[in-house]
């Protein structure tokens, strides 16, 4: 895979060495066991896959290169980001510190009106991509967007899949978080080709299925799915032939369950057999990206270790990170932190993504030796932050020296 140039401050020499060694030993990525970092009375189990993915590194490289080119050319061009580059507070703060301004918040609310933009401004499109409406707005202002478009190729793949499904006259069901930038972008790109509707989870999918089976009157669809269907959506006609695509970062098991459920709904409704299911359901694979699959599989592999707690590092609004948390918390006490929020051996400040609040937990480290901690991070989290967490924990057990030795061991 392509190597990107991202600022060195985001890298961790130790984690880079560990990842390199694991990759050399397991080129086909079949081994999902975690890496044990034995620090004496502290055992850290580091997931096999975590941290910056292809799309995030690509976006960061383009953003920082653009800043540097603008500085060197001395043109003083203004640089804007459509919204957060990626869902990581440190990276976004660093970009802002370099003078980059955000046009919108993550919900799509304007922070700076588009009317204030000029044709010579540089607008960076984030890794999640954006809607066709916004692309057109920028083009109409004379802004060249192609050069500064950091949309991840794995997101574009979902748009291409939608187009293929649409060509075969299927309606597109998008499984994703309706307010997430990527899902809004995919909805926009899909709905120019075919009627489209978003479902956020299984509960909402079950409600959608009731319109397919006729259990629910079509008149209530428009209120129930307000804001989630494309213009001109005809619930009676447009749910007869469907195909599913996903936001790239959803939980793999949810995604599979939703596609299977909709397929079974169509099979029952139209009395289909294996050879003619395709008349009503586009039987395609999910559109989760490789990083989502790798990171979730690595967490599933890591959870086979008998540990005391798990720590997941990532942005609180990061979809892929929240799913890693979801997997961990089914099995053991899990702490979702976005920086070095480990305040002391007694207190940790962490995020409850169900209630959307940061909470303080005391006595999170058990009074036993060795303490066994599972550690991973989301696809937009710099490895340097994960190393910071490791160092902090090591400090509580006077094991800083052991961390330094690990670098020799893995190098």
Which residues are marked as active site?
182
**Rule CB under 6 A: which of 304-323 touch ligand SF4?**
320
In the DSSP assignment, the letter for residue 374 is: E
Output the six-digit token pair for 296: 């979730």
User: Residue 157 and residue 165: Cα distance in Å, rounded?
Assistant: 12
Q: Is 152 in the site for ligand SF4 (CB under 6 A)?
A: yes
Least distance (Å) from ligand SF4 to the CB of residue 113? Answer: 28
Q: Is 379 in the site for ligand SF4 (CB under 6 A)?
A: yes
User: Among 334, 333, 360, 363, which residue's Cα sits nearest to residue 346?
Assistant: 363
Q: Is 324 in the site for ligand SF4 (CB under 6 A)?
A: no
Nearer to ligand SF4, 51 or 243 (CB): 51
Q: Is 155 in the site for ligand SF4 (CB under 6 A)?
A: yes
Binding residues with ligand SF4: total (CB under 6 A): 15
Q: Is 56 in the site for ligand SF4 (CB under 6 A)?
A: yes
Nearer to ligand SF4, 54 or 336 (CB): 54
User: Residue 174 and residue 170: Cα distance in Å, rounded?
Assistant: 12
Binder of ligand SF4 out of 66, 171, 186, 249 (CB under 6 A) = 249
Least distance (Å) from ligand SF4 to the CB of residue 69? Answer: 23
User: Residue 132 and residue 352: Cα distance in Å, rounded?
Assistant: 34
Q: Is 53 in the site for ligand SF4 (CB under 6 A)?
A: yes
Q: Choose one: 151-159, 324-332, 355-363, 392-400; the region binding ligand SF4 (CB under 6 A).
A: 151-159
Residues 53, 379: contact at Cβ < 8 Å?
Answer: yes
User: Residue 68 and residue 100: Cα distance in Å, rounded?
Assistant: 12
Binder of ligand SF4 out of 10, 148, 154, 233 (CB under 6 A) = 154
User: Residue 166 and residue 65: Cα distance in Å, rounded?
Assistant: 37
HSE-up of residue 374 (Cα within 13 Å, Cβ side): 31
Nearer to ligand SF4, 289 or 375 (CB): 289
- Give strand ranges (E) for 207-276: 242-246
Output the six-digit token pair for 282: 């586009």
User: Residue 42 and residue 396: Cα distance in Å, rounded?
Assistant: 9
HSE-up of residue 137 (Cα within 13 Å, Cβ side): 14
In the DSSP assignment, the letter for residue 229 is: B
Q: Choose one: 53-61, 118-126, 141-149, 258-266; the region binding ligand SF4 (CB under 6 A).
A: 53-61
Residue nearest to ligand SF4 (CB): 55
Output the six-digit token pair for 163: 């187009």
Binding mask 254-293 for ligand SF4 (x = CB under 6 A): -----------------------------------x-xx-
Least distance (Å) from ligand SF4 to the CB of residue 291? Answer: 4
Output the six-digit token pair for 17: 């060495």
Q: Choose one: 48-56, 114-122, 251-259, 299-307; the region binding ligand SF4 (CB under 6 A).
A: 48-56
End-to-end CA gap in the chain: 21
Determine the length of the chain: 411
Q: Choose one: 54-62, 94-102, 331-339, 353-361; the region binding ligand SF4 (CB under 6 A).
A: 54-62
Nearer to ligand SF4, 51 or 195 (CB): 51
Least distance (Å) from ligand SF4 to the CB of residue 127? Answer: 4
Chain centroid to CA 168? 29
Give residue for tokens 């050069």.
147
Q: Is 377 in the site for ligand SF4 (CB under 6 A)?
A: no
- Give strand ranges (E) for 67-165: 79-81, 101-102, 122-124
Least distance (Å) from ligand SF4 to the CB of residue 183? Answer: 12
Q: Is 127 in the site for ligand SF4 (CB under 6 A)?
A: yes
Least distance (Å) from ligand SF4 to the CB of residue 249? Answer: 5
Output the six-digit token pair for 156: 């574009």
Nearer to ligand SF4, 95 or 239 (CB): 95
SS3 state at 385: helix
Q: Residues interacting with ligand SF4, by CB under 6 A? A: 53-56, 127, 152, 154-155, 248-249, 289, 291-292, 320, 379
């Amino acid at each position: 895979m392509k190597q990107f140039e991202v600022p060195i401050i985001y890298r961790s020499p130790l984690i880079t060495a560990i990842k390199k060694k694991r990759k050399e030993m397991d080129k086909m990525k079949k081994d999902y066991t975690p890496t044990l970092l034995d620090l004496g009375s502290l055992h850290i189990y580091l997931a096999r896959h975590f941290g910056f993915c292809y799309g995030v590194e690509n976006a960061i490289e383009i953003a920082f290169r653009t800043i540097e080119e603008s500085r060197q050319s001395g043109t003083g061009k203004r640089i804007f980001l459509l919204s957060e580059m990626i869902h990581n507070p440190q990276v976004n703060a660093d970009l802002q510190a370099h003078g980059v301004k955000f046009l919108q918040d993550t919900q799509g609310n304007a922070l700076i009106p588009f009317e204030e933009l000029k044709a010579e401004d540089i607008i960076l499109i984030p890794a999640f991509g954006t809607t066709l409406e916004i692309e057109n707005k920028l083009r109409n202002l004379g802004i060249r967007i192609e050069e500064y478009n950091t949309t991840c190729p794995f997101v574009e793949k979902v748009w291409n899949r939608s187009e293929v499904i649409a060509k075969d006259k299927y309606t597109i069901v998008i499984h994703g978080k309706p307010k997430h930038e990527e899902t809004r972008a995919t909805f926009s790109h899909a709905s120019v080709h075919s009627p489209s509707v978003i479902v956020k989870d299984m509960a909402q999918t079950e409600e959608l299925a009731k319109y397919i089976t006729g259990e629910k009157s079509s008149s209530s669809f428009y209120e129930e799915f307000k804001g989630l269907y494309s213009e001109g959506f005809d619930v009676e006609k447009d749910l007869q032939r469907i195909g599913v695509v996903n936001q790239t970062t959803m939980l793999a098991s949810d995604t599979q369950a939703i596609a299977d459920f909709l397929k079974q709904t169509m099979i029952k409704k139209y009395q289909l057999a294996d050879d003619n299911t395709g008349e009503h359901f586009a039987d395609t694979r999910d559109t989760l990206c490789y990083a989502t699959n790798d990171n979730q599989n690595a967490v599933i592999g890591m959870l086979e270790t008998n540990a005391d707690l798990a720590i997941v590092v990532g942005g609180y609004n990061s979809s892929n990170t929240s799913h890693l948390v979801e997997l961990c918390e089914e099995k053991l006490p899990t702490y979702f932190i976005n920086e070095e929020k480990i305040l002391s051996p007694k207190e940790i400040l962490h995020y409850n993504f169900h209630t959307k609040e940061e909470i303080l937990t005391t006595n999170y480290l058990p009074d036993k030796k060795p303490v066994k901690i599972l550690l991973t991070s989301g696809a937009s989290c710099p490895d340097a932050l994960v190393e910071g967490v490791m160092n902090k924990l090591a400090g509580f057990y006077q094991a800083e020296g052991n961390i330094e030795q690990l670098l020799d061991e893995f190098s």
